[in-house]
Amino acid sequence: MMSKYPLLGMNLVELQALVKRLGMPGFTAKQIVEWLYGKKVTSIDEMTNLSLKNRELLKQNYEVGAETPVDEMRSVDGTVKYLYRVGDSHFVESVYIPDDDRATLCVSSQVGCKMNCKFCMTGKQGFTAHLTANQIINQIHSLPERDKLTNVVMMGMGEPLDNLDEVLKALEILTASYGYAWSPKRITLSTVGLRKGLQRFIEESDCHLAISLHSPVTAQRSELMPAEKAFSITEMVGLLKNYDFSKQRRLSFEYIVFKGLNDSQVYAKELLKLLRGLDCRVNLIRFHAIPGVDLEGADMDTMTRFRDYLTSHGLFTTIRSSRGEDIFAACGMLSTAKQEENNQS
């Protein structure tokens, strides 16, 4: 039996073309988007203001395409990691992080990743597939806590700029008036920084931008992040200086603090030098050990000193609170385990 095409993840233009192709009235596209993104239905039968004939016509080749998570892990701190099946035999993770009056979902954009950052479990999987807009949006649409969500971060498995067409389509649906109508200020995309994708993302989206930095020193960043060789952090900062981040859109740099590697004042001074003239902030992140990687996280005293030095020199810096440690909330662990389990069975 031929599998059906998902409607979830289609934008208004695609749905207008679809209803035209099927010979339905033009206004049907507006009705369908309202059912998909406004009323968040899970089946075509629920679209009750479409005629029975048009619903049957749609159902011949299409379905809503919402897939609930196949597994979950719950942390003592309320963080929940969900595993979604994509395609026949692959899996991606989303992490739901409740925090007082905020609730953030960390969303994946690829199965695996090509970037192979030394400190990242997803990178160890290698690259398998790009997620479609349907598979990206489904992580939000089918989230059990969907109605509590206040923020989305594209910081899960994969490099969003390496799958930019599908990511931008998903972001359009999230922010468009016909879609979920979220403010772009509720969404942050995190990237290692790919030359061709970065400029396009800045110009085609108003969402916040977070750059994975982790070292201000080119040679060291290359060792941690092979993508540095293709597009250096100094070139990236040069590009970012062409844009205005002083208003509603926020630019931040993610910096995992590794013990004895990038945690001394020498690195803090290099960071200040690199980011001078940019309207931005720095988020310091604790590192959690992953199998087979000889890196350790710096202790909290070291991180606090690092933060205070940067802040006292005019660079707004925070330490991100660590969440879901007991369930390995950093992406890649659960999907790796599930993939290995599947391969053995």
Catalytic residues: 93, 331
Distance CA 138, CA 107 (A): 10
| Nearest CA-CA partner of 285 in 196, 199, 343, 213 | 213
- Strand 90-99 vs strand 102-106: parallel, antiparallel, or unpaired? antiparallel
β-bridge mates for residue 84, sequence order: 92
SS3 59: helix
SS3 133: helix
Q: Measuring CA to CA, how many Å separate 160 from each of 21, 136, 179, 238, 308? A: 31, 11, 20, 21, 31
| Nearest CA-CA partner of 11 in 143, 137, 153 | 137
Q: What is the CA radius of gyration of the chain?
A: 21
**245, two tokens:** 């981040």
Distance CA 144, CA 99 (A): 16
Distance CA 75, CA 328 (A): 9
Q: Measuring CA to CA, how many Å separate 142 from each of 88, 139, 305? A: 18, 6, 41
Burial of 192 (0-12, 13-18, 19+ CB in 10 A): buried
| Nearest CA-CA partner of 244 in 284, 197, 277 | 277
Q: Which residue type occupies 67? A: E
Q: Measuring CA to CA, how many Å separate 305 from each of 53, 288, 299, 315? A: 67, 20, 10, 14
